[in-house]
Structure 1
Amino acid sequence: MSEGHSSKAVLIAGPTASGKSALALELALNVGGVVINADSMQVYRDLRIITARPTEDEQARVPHRLYGHVDAAVNFSAGAWVADAATVLEQARAEGRLPIFVGGTGLYFKALTAGLSVVPPIPAEVRENVRARLERNGVEALHAELARRDPRAAERLNLRDRARIARALEVVEATGRSLFDWHHEGQPPLLPKHSFRAVFLAPERDELYARIDARFAAMLGAGALEEVERLGARGLDPLLPAMKAHGVPGLIRYLRGELDLEEAATIGRADTRHYAKRQFTWFRHQLPEFEWVKPVEAGGWLAAAAGRDRRP
């Protein structure tokens, strides 16, 4: 490894099913890198198949970090991920390995390259009380309450976004300040400008949707339904992030007898497609420093990245 690795990193982002993990693995093999997860669902231990985590064979070929290290009962946050990422980034540099961050969670990459707002921990009793009111009174009532206590947050949040409305209300209840006030007081980025190279894999939409559909079918064939059944049997809060992973809600409804399997799969595929659309929009507007590359051009990009990182 060259000494240049001590100050460089590679960031590989893109919509779900765009080939990010394969590109990261190939680069890591070429340059002696470590693959670091930047996907908010692949952190969960319970969600190996339904989130298409790297296989055991792939993880044995090069070091992989921050995959499946969090229990589904944990409401894992971007702040917690940044803390974990700081640790593995330091380890990679100490080992002389190129850190390769790969995933589709825009907020993780934003935190990595632009810093993150610091919101104090929310007491468990506040969180539980807000969620109880959400279940009892519904999202509209909670949004109306938020509008009285934090009008700015209420105005900026979608009326149907249960999780974010609950989060904003938790913050104002626990701290007396708006969530958006906290956004102005943050941690510095782990990767400042000019210390990384970043790519966003951007397939054609029709090609991407076909890959999403094929992958969902493959996941079902590989045991995703049984995985979700085990998760559902834990009786976890449905508002937890792991319980809302694409495919999970529909398959749980199938297991309860509310849908047939094809209906559940249709919901899972549609949710994944909608998420992919949001990923395109989010990265385009929030992370303009990412270089957009079609997957068919990824080989050339990889060769350039490997060549740059081999220079002393």
Structure 2
Amino acid sequence: MSGAVPEQGQRPAAVLIAGPTASGKSALALRLAQACDGVVINTDSMQVYRDLRIITARPTPAEEALVPHRLYGTVDAAVNFSAGAFVEAAAGALAEARAAGRLPIFIGGTGLYFKALTRGLSAVPPVPAEVRDAVRLRLDRDGVLALHAELARYDPAAADRLAPVDRSRIARALEVVLATGRPLADWHGEASPPLLPPDGVTALFLALDREALYARIDARFTAMLQAGALDEVAALAARGLDPLLPAMKAHGVPALIRHLRGELSVEEAAVIGAADTRHYAKRQFTWFRHQLPEFRWVKPEEASAFLHSVIMRP
């Protein structure tokens, strides 16, 4: 696939490194930052949470000490961190990097965050807390099917698009239409200017062979358990947070919480956690292919040479 590459002789305004989970993005970003006086800026919706270093495979403290890292572990798990909040934080990190003369390197696997950076944000206003709380209360009390039926009355297009069991998205769509009187799709058509227009950046997607990727995901989940992921999840579960919060749905977290409740063995939880991660990786391939075609698909073993040819060109 083709991708965004600045014109000859121009250093890009930023480098965007995307790819499925476990594809080697963090190691590539670290090497690039060391070679080009760069700053690594997190673009992963789960690695923002300070409660989840191990289970989200955040860079280690030793890796973070090698070059500046920004937006890692900066948000409490009790916060529903949005794409809008990410763009606001990313704008600050970008300004800091530019002021210091460093190359901004945005790296992660969250397609929505990259799309917000390069295409702008929809203009959905904040939903009042009382509306959100009322919808969540009814979700717990009446169940997702009742909310889906209500959504069908107010926003039939969203109800048709969403599976009747998709709790989070149904709740979100209903919150928006109740708070604003307008369907979510209406707001998505009104976007703010992008922070990083595609023409000025180098954007690549690490396209690892699927079977090799799935093997790496399985091995990494085992390694995370050995590194203390279960203790990390136990500490998170002890906080008694809303299970609909993003941090509570990080890959592996729900299954490990079920193990802590005695519902699964740790081996069964590991199988489920790794399978959920593999399914997510498959969705990442599909999402970037259709939503962000300007990203150049590069094999991981060719990525360093590609970036060097773009950034170091005379």
The answer to whether the superposition gives a TM-score over 0.5 is yes
Partner SS state of residue 200, structure 2: coil
Match of 2:84 in 1: 79
1:215 aligns with 2:235: no
Task: Summarize the alignment of residues 234-245 of structure 1 with structure 2, pairs less than 5 Å apart.
Answer: 234-245=239-250
Q: Does 1:52 align with 2:57?
A: yes
Provide Cα deviations, 1:273-297, integer angstroms capped at 9, x if missing partner.
Answer: 0000000000000000000011121
- Opposite residue 55 of structure 2, the aligned amino acid is I
Q: Which residue of 1 aligns with 2:108?
A: 103
Residue aligning to 1:246: 251
TM-superposed CA distance for 1:307, in Å, is 1.1
154, 162, 165: which is aligned to 1:157? 162
Aligned-pair identity (%): 74
Name the CA distance, whole Å, in 1 between partners of 2:32 and 2:116.
23
Q: Give the equivalent residue in structure 2 for 1:29.
A: 34
Instruction: Map residues 174-185 of structure 1 onto 2, 5 A cutoff.
Output: 174-185=179-190
Deviation at 1:138, TM superposition (A): 1.3
2:69 corresponds in structure 1 to 64
Aligned equivalent of 1:282, options 272, 278, 287: 287
Shift of 1:75: 0.4
- 1:92 aligned onto 2:83: no
**2:266 is the counterpart of 1:261:** yes
2:239 is paired with a residue whose SS is: coil
Contact 1:30 1:306 in 2 (8 A): no
How do 1:133-144 and structure 2 match up within 5 A?
A: 133-144=138-149
TM-aligned CA deviation for residue 118 of structure 1:
1.8
Is the contact between residue 198 and residue 294 of structure 2 (CA under 8 Å) also seen in structure 1? no
Q: Which runs of 4+ in 1 moved over 6 A?
A: none
SS of match in other structure, 1:194: helix
Provide the rounded CA distance (Å) in 2 between the counterparts of 1:301 and 1:161. Answer: 39
Residue in structure 2 matched with residue 305 of structure 1 by the alignment: 310
Encode CA deviations 1:59-115: one digit per residue, 9 max, x unaligned: 000000000000000000001000000111111111100000000000000000011
Letter aligned with residue 117 of structure 2:
L
Uncovered stretches (5+) of structure 2, i.e. residues with no partner = 1-8
Partner Cα separation in structure 1 for residue 166 and residue 310 of structure 2: 39
Pairwise CA RMSD of aligned residues? 1.2
Q: Say if 1:27 and 1:306, in contact at 8 Å, map to a contact too.
A: no
Give the AA of the match of 1:207.
Answer: A
Please state how far the C-alpha of 1:4 moved relative to its aligned partner: 5.7
Q: Secondary structure at the match of 2:312?
A: helix
Aligned partner letter, 1:226 = D
Q: Which residue of 1 aligns with 2:177?
A: 172
